[in-house]
A = this chain, B = another copy of it.
Amino acid sequence: VQDVVRSAGRQPKERLRSAAIVARALAIVDAEGVDGLTIRRLAQDFAVSPMALYWHFKDKAQLLDGIADRVLEEVDLRREASDEAVSWLTELRGVLEALVAAVRPHPAVATLLPSRVLTSEPGLLLAERTLALLARGGFAADRAAELGTYLIEAVVALVSAEPGRDLPAGGEAREDAARVKRASLLALSPRRFPAITAAADALAECASPDAYHALGIDMLIAGVEGIASRTSTNSKPVRR
């Protein structure tokens, strides 16, 4: 958390340059995954020596921090913030949807987020909102902490787990890969794996990513609602 202010003392021009480096690094991760990002490759894109980057970032971990920050900053928490007319559960759904919306354009970044939610400024803002809403829903502070941090990770996992997310990006190559994946599932014994072979299409590729993410959010919200009514510490009726 001491690193929350890690870019606080920089000059405007310098911050811009650091921001440009992060932007380029994020583009590389989007295109080729986290493993595709190397200091040397990134330096090459700027036609600069690899060591030049070490003036802007202490090490690679700090560069990855910057990428995670950038994505978490895109989580729009302004929607219905503290609107007392809206139920806490509806507001929570809005927060989770905002997180999905921010991460979906950068699925490869998902793996970077869990360890950084409680150490980056925008991650802390997201966690604070989530915990506060759960407290409003009647969860004790420690239960809200456990449930809230998990909810955030579960939403990140929702993006990572989208069927077909591991397929290549492009048009024809993606179709080919999807077909191969589908065929490999259909090659399984329908006697041993009836459910999987029956759902090979849906497992290989997402017919509607929007519907998939909506299903996941619905499930998580229903889950919170379910245990809230069981475990709430106060007895005031839950607002709908």
Contacts and interface: CB of A to CB of B under 8 A. Distances in A.
A59 B201 CA distance: 30
A145 to B, nearest CB: 4
A54 interface: no
A12 to B, nearest CB: 24
B161 A114 contact: yes
Contact of A1 (B187, B198, B221, B230): B187
Nearest to A219: B223
A102 interface: no
A38 to B, nearest CB: 15
A149 B144 CA distance: 26
A194 B114 CA distance: 21
Nearest to A143: B215
A143 B223 CA distance: 17
A39 interface: no
A222 B215 CA distance: 14
A149 to B, nearest CB: 6
Given A128-B196, A199-B141, A146 B226 contact: no
* This chain's copy number in the assembly: 2
A185 interface: yes
A232 to B, nearest CB: 13
Interface in A87-142: 111, 114-115, 118, 124, 127-128, 131-132, 135, 141-142
A175 interface: no
Contact of A202 (B111, B146, B198, B223): B146
Given A149-B203, A188-B124, A222-B223, A132 B195 contact: yes
Interface of A: 1-2, 111, 114-115, 118, 124, 127-128, 131-132, 135, 141-147, 149-150, 153-154, 156-158, 160-161, 163, 166, 184-185, 187-188, 192-196, 198-199, 201-203, 206-207, 212, 215-216, 218-227, 230
Give the 4 A-B CB pairs with smallest separation, nearest first.
Answer: A222-B226, A223-B223, A131-B195, A145-B199
18 contacts: A1-B184, A1-B185, A2-B187, A111-B111, A118-B196, A128-B192, A131-B196, A141-B199, A142-B199, A142-B207, A150-B215, A153-B158, A154-B154, A215-B227, A220-B223, A221-B223, A222-B226, A225-B226
